[in-house]
Structure 1
Amino acid sequence: MPEHKPEMMQGKNRILLFRLLEDQSVEAAKLVFQTDHTFSYSRSLDRIVTKDGTIIKVGELEAEVSIEAVQALQDPTYAMLQEAAIKGKKLELWEVSVDEKLKNAEGKYPAVYAQGYLDSWEPGAPVEDEASISSNFIVELEPQFGFATLTDAQEKVVQYAFTDTTAVVNGGE
């Protein structure tokens, strides 16, 4: 039996999608030019020293996502996220692993889903670099793990597919 060799997960294959919770009639959208994000989980652990030894009191889980991106011109997702930060609107967030090798039998990708709020929105404008955005998404309750569907339009935003050199006539039919 051949031995399974582990492969590295590439950070570029994990993307974030967003949607206003109040607007579930639209598809989730990707913030253009994402450069980095970190999904962090933490909890406080209080040490209580007793005469029998130290015991640990476990606090509640806290989760957040730090987000970094280069600003794109006229990106509707950027505008939606900025308004959500300013107005305190609740968001939905998906971290989707878009590696084809990870798709399940239904064609869905592994994902983490969370609801929460942006507690910061920091557009940067350095003189010698691209304009950037830094933000922090605070998760309410616990993130949920499952599989997410990407529409054809969402998949095209993630990465375009190879296209042949021949002319496309009538939408490729």
Structure 2
Amino acid sequence: MDPKRAMLEGKNKILLFRKLSEANTEAAKLSFQTGHTFDFSRDADAIVTKDGTIRKLNELESEVTGIEAIQAKEDPVASMLLEAVFEGEKLELWEVTVDEDLKNEDGKYPAIYCQGYMTSWSSDNGAEDEATYSGDFAIELTPQFGYATLTDEQQEAVQYAFQDTISGSQPPEGVEG
């Protein structure tokens, strides 16, 4: 395998959001995201004993910070996230690694799933740039690792598939779409 292909690329890690209250009726939504950081941390209190210092581990804390995206006109994700900040509404968040080499036999991608709240929101509207928004997401409990399915619409938004030059055709055998 080519060493460059073996490296994970940040552009292949996407975030999808959904209101927890819409879990039975809506698919998760993605934005024109430009960056984010997934943080895991655990404080360790020092306890001094006669034999030396030992550590008492505290609970795991997680958050997704620096969520940054370009805002589209009538952007449903931007509206949902802004509303979630104002209303204190619980959201679901997935970080999905959209890398064909990592897909499992069921066609699903590696993912981290969590629930929590948007804790900050800001929008930047420079005169010469696209409107952007950013925010932070505080996670409740412990994120779960597994595999996620992307809908056809989500996959098309992430990357269009190869199409032949004639209408209505599928990619030739042996050519991945």
**TM-score, with structure 2 as normaliser:** 0.88
Deviations 1:60-117 (A, max 9, x none): 1000001111211111111111111111000000000111111101111100000000
- Which residue is equivalent to 1:11? 10
Aligned sequence identity (%)? 57
| Deviates most, 98-107 or 71-80 | 71-80
| Structure 1 position 4, deviation (Å) | 9.1
- Which residue is equivalent to 2:93? 93
**TM-score, with structure 1 as normaliser:** 0.90
Deviations 1:121-157 (A, max 9, x none): 1111123322211100000000000000111111111
| Structure 1 position 43, deviation (Å) | 1.1
SS in 2 for 1:96: strand
User: Where do 1:13-28 residues align within 5 Å?
Assistant: 13-24=12-23, 25-28=25-28
Tell me how many residue pairs correspond in the alignment: 167
Alignment of 1:124 onto 2:153: no
- Which residue is equivalent to 1:43? 42
Alignment of 1:156 onto 2:156: yes
For residues 54 and 106 of structure 1, the distance between their equivalents in structure 2, rounded to whole angstroms, comes to 48
User: RMSD of aligned C-alpha atoms?
Assistant: 1.9
For residues 93 and 133 of structure 1, the distance between their equivalents in structure 2, rounded to whole angstroms, comes to 17
For residues 26 and 19 of structure 1, the distance between their equivalents in structure 2, rounded to whole angstroms, comes to 8
For residues 142 and 88 of structure 1, the distance between their equivalents in structure 2, rounded to whole angstroms, comes to 20
For residues 134 and 9 of structure 1, the distance between their equivalents in structure 2, rounded to whole angstroms, comes to 23
| Structure 1 position 163, deviation (Å) | 2.2
SS in 1 for 2:101: helix
For residues 57 and 22 of structure 2, the distance between their equivalents in structure 1, rounded to whole angstroms, comes to 36
For residues 10 and 60 of structure 1, the distance between their equivalents in structure 2, rounded to whole angstroms, comes to 30
For residues 114 and 145 of structure 1, the distance between their equivalents in structure 2, rounded to whole angstroms, comes to 9
SS in 2 for 1:78: helix
Gaps of 5+ in 1: none
For residues 97 and 165 of structure 1, the distance between their equivalents in structure 2, rounded to whole angstroms, comes to 30
